[in-house]
Structure 1
Amino acid sequence: MASAQDIQNLLRFLSQDAKVPLAQAMGKIKELQAANLITPDQIAKSGMGAIKNVFEDDKITKQILNAAKRVSKKRGSTDAGAPAPSPKKIKSSYGQPLSPAQFEESLVLPDLCLDEEELSNAAVFTNRAPLVLAFAVIVLKYTMPEQPLSSRLSLAQAVVSANSRTKAVNLGLESGKSAEEEGWGEGQPLVKVMGREIRVMKRWGYDWEAKEEEGATQETIKDEPNDIDNKEPALWGVDLEALKKSNGPVTVGSRNVSTSQLPIYTAQSARTYLLKAFETPKSEGGSQKSPTKKKPASIVAEKERNLGLLLGALDLLFKSWSSVLSKDDLDKRAWSWYTRVRPEVASGVEGWGGKGNVKLRDILDLRRPTT
């Protein structure tokens, strides 16, 4: 069995070398242990098949395998006395060759199921991090309705990552001060989501509601204030840990200073995480409800359907309170509601990344009483 130090080293490899979001890496620890994929050497020798069985995504699988080979080769060279290669700087990923409207459309989540009878009889099988992500995405719909979906996904992922790091520190899997505690990103605005303050970057000039203009793409959006429209600008959640690792600028707060160097939590990665995180619960006997082996396309559709069910239940919950609670109070309650319905897992390191059932009836029961 892997020790706490082994798990800490594995998380460090996944999050720093393979660039896997910490929350996602945490959720895969148990599966990696079961597959005996604990060290970069073991991962490098396993091949893509074994890694893909755990992470499912081709892009992330390649990232992990390439990082494992690179780390193993680096260690081999270092052992032989050869100088280690200089680390590459983290490159931030901002826009797409799409107009703002097209970009937002590409991020659309599955249709929300609002059928109370269906929701009352449904459940999802998941671990805690993506459930936090789902809660944050929906509560932001009501506390920051002016924000586009891309911003809500980015801000929600920032909350998940910050929460995951705090949990890792409490379990002894991470040590030292966080990037926020060391002052990285100081000067960037702060917003509060589910009771946690996160650093953000204002996306000046990003007009996602405007009709598509000829030649307008994500890449042509300028980091400038839009004086014509005084509404609140869209936001990105800033990845302070990535900023710290890249030795980027510690303070970037002025409108007159370009923020293009700041790494962000991308909306695309948060959306992908949500789409793959919610399985159908197993039957009491331990077998899947379907007796036949499901095809990959069927599994993808099933997970998307489960996400639509979960988001629908959460939407009904927050909507029921939105007319009587202030935005601040609604945000404060979101975390306590999450803790009441999150899956039960083993305590300590044993429960790291553990999964369990979430009954959507429990979410509906948290709604404001109507009588």
Structure 2
Amino acid sequence: MSTAQVPVLLRFLTQDAKVPLATAIGKTPELQKANLSSADQIAKADIQVLRDIFKDQKVAKQVLNAGKRVSKKRGAPTDTTAASPEKKRKNVNITKESTPFEIESALSLPTPSVPDSELQGMVVVTNRAPLVLAFAVCVLRYTMPEQPISSRLSLGQALVSANSRSKAVSLGIENGQSAEEEGWGEGQPVVKVLGREIRVLKRWDYNPREGQPTAPPIQKASSSNPDLADDFLGNGDINDADKMPPLWGVDLEAARSSQRNPDSKKKTGALPIYTAQSARSYLLRSISNVQKTPTPSKSKSNTAKGQDNEESVACLLSAIDFVCRSWATNLNKEELDRRAWVWYLKVRPDVQSGVQGWGQKGQVKISDILALRNDS
């Protein structure tokens, strides 16, 4: 099992099998050695193998039954089928006791359960801001590969906020200088995300691999396996002074507002930041799929809607990643970053311009995004 599958297994153990997170992390390497890396494989496991791993018959049965339940719900794919992500997801639960690895695992984004061949026909519904966030999170994987998923989400949300304020000013919804223009970001480092300068806070004391369970060597990327196995952790070395440490996007508007409100909670150190949890939540609730056969008389439950949204986000991110990956070997990081903004402009929802179209949702065809692989 590659490290990229670890968060999927952890989510299954903690959410479906109700195993405490600390226990789940400790048992992951043993499950890996026993080739039990997915709910489908666990469903077919011998109870004695699970008993030997968990050292508790009740917990072993609990895990086996959860595996059978999840596998049955997904139609029990064969062993040769790649394990699809768990569909039942809860809100990110991060506590003060969570290790960096646990935090990054919880923040990892969904991957699609549909085969690549079916992406072409999909259509999602969203407004422009979440689509900007999706493009930013994907392109940062290639322009700043050392950054873990928490940093990519924070930087992407900082970009969305800056763009939204600029749009609000242009429409006359807001006026006056921005916090950046008033100098609130003075002295903070700057990085570029989709061509826009973002003020950042360096997290020198943060190692995303802290707390990571022992596992076999990570499989390196290759032509047949272009995805880095530990993508959600980033590929940076915290001890390498020449590499950028994990970053937070600084919320300059909140910094300015906190002068009037000293009780502002949005702080890390001395500066408010864009939290990865809120960015992830925003992404998952702001993108949905187009229903081919709508049934207005039967409203979906919140759980079903959440699962549909998650699948839509997964497919959208996968399509954008295909495009970024196809160009990453031909463009340098600066050009890839600039080009990504052009790609976004080509596929953004076609909504009414002006104040009346502010925040309006529209359709985005996945096929239009995939066509960008041939963009000239």
TM-score tier (shorter) = 0.5 to 0.7
Alpha-carbon offset, residue 95 of structure 1: 7.8
| Letter in structure 1 aligned against 2:365 | K
Q: Deviations over 1:92-144 (max 9, x none)?
A: xx984311111111101111468442110001011111010000000001100
| Letter in structure 1 aligned against 2:253 | E
Q: Deviations over 1:1-42 (max 9, x none)?
A: xxxxxxxxxxxxxxxxxxxxxxxxxxxxxxxxxxxxxxxxxx
Aligned-partner Cα distance in 2 for 1:124–1:171: 26
> Gaps spanning 5+ residues in structure 1: where?
1-58, 60-93, 214-225, 249-257
Q: Deviations over 1:37-82 (max 9, x none)?
A: xxxxxxxxxxxxxxxxxxxxxx9xxxxxxxxxxxxxxxxxxxxxxx
Aligned twin of 1:208: 208
1:348 aligns with 2:360: no
Q: Is the 8 A contact 1:114 1:312 kept in 2?
A: no
Aligned twin of 2:287: 278
Q: Deviations over 1:165-192 (max 9, x none)?
A: 0000000001000000000020000000
SS at match of 1:159: helix
Q: Is the 8 A contact 2:100 2:211 kept in 1?
A: no
Aligned twin of 1:267: 276
Cα pair distance change 1:205/1:296, threshold 3 Å: same
Q: Is the 8 A contact 2:104 2:150 kept in 1?
A: yes
Cα pair distance change 1:140/1:96, threshold 3 Å: farther
Aligned-partner Cα distance in 1 for 2:189–2:238: 19
Aligned twin of 1:243: 255
Aligned twin of 2:83: none
Alpha-carbon offset, residue 293 of structure 1: 2.2
SS at match of 1:244: helix
Q: Deviations over 1:325-370 (max 9, x none)?
A: 0000000011110011011111100100111110000000000479
Partner residue of 2:245 out of 190, 214, 233 = 233
Aligned twin of 2:79: none
Q: Is the 8 A contact 2:188 2:200 kept in 1?
A: yes
State the aligned residue count. 254
Aligned twin of 1:191: 191
| Letter in structure 2 aligned against 1:322 | A
Cα pair distance change 1:369/1:238, threshold 3 Å: closer
Aligned twin of 1:295: 301
| Letter in structure 1 aligned against 2:190 | L
Matches within 5 A, 1:29-108: 96-108=96-108
Cα pair distance change 1:114/1:181, threshold 3 Å: farther
SS at match of 1:366: helix
Partner residue of 2:373 out of 336, 350, 367 = 367
SS at match of 2:331: coil
Aligned twin of 1:21: none
1:328 aligns with 2:365: no
Q: Is the 8 A contact 1:124 1:281 kept in 2?
A: yes
- Over the matched positions of the two proteins, sequence identity in percent amounts to 54
Partner residue of 2:312 out of 282, 306, 312 = 306
Q: Is the 8 A contact 2:200 2:249 kept in 1?
A: yes
Matches within 5 A, 1:90-129: 96-112=96-112, 115-129=115-129
Aligned-partner Cα distance in 1 for 2:211–2:153: 22
Aligned-partner Cα distance in 2 for 1:369–1:335: 13
Aligned twin of 2:159: 159
Cα pair distance change 1:291/1:314, threshold 3 Å: farther
SS at match of 1:358: strand
| Letter in structure 2 aligned against 1:262 | L
Q: Is the 8 A contact 2:99 2:211 kept in 1?
A: no
Q: Which moved more, 1:293-302 or 1:108-117?
A: 108-117
Aligned twin of 1:38: none
Q: Is the 8 A contact 1:111 1:308 kept in 2?
A: yes
Q: Is the 8 A contact 1:113 1:311 kept in 2?
A: no
Alpha-carbon offset, residue 229 of structure 1: 4.0
Aligned twin of 1:62: none
Q: Is the 8 A contact 2:107 2:280 kept in 1?
A: yes
Aligned-partner Cα distance in 1 for 2:136–2:171: 23
Aligned twin of 2:144: 144
Aligned-partner Cα distance in 1 for 2:238–2:127: 44
> Gaps spanning 5+ residues in structure 2: where?
1-90, 214-236, 261-266
Q: Is the 8 A contact 1:321 1:368 kept in 2?
A: no
Cα pair distance change 1:203/1:95, threshold 3 Å: farther
Alpha-carbon offset, residue 297 of structure 1: 1.0
Superposition TM-score, scaled by structure 2 size: 0.63
Alpha-carbon offset, residue 164 of structure 1: 0.2
SS at match of 2:191: strand
Note the aligned Cα RMSD (angstroms): 2.5
Q: Is the 8 A contact 1:278 1:303 kept in 2?
A: yes
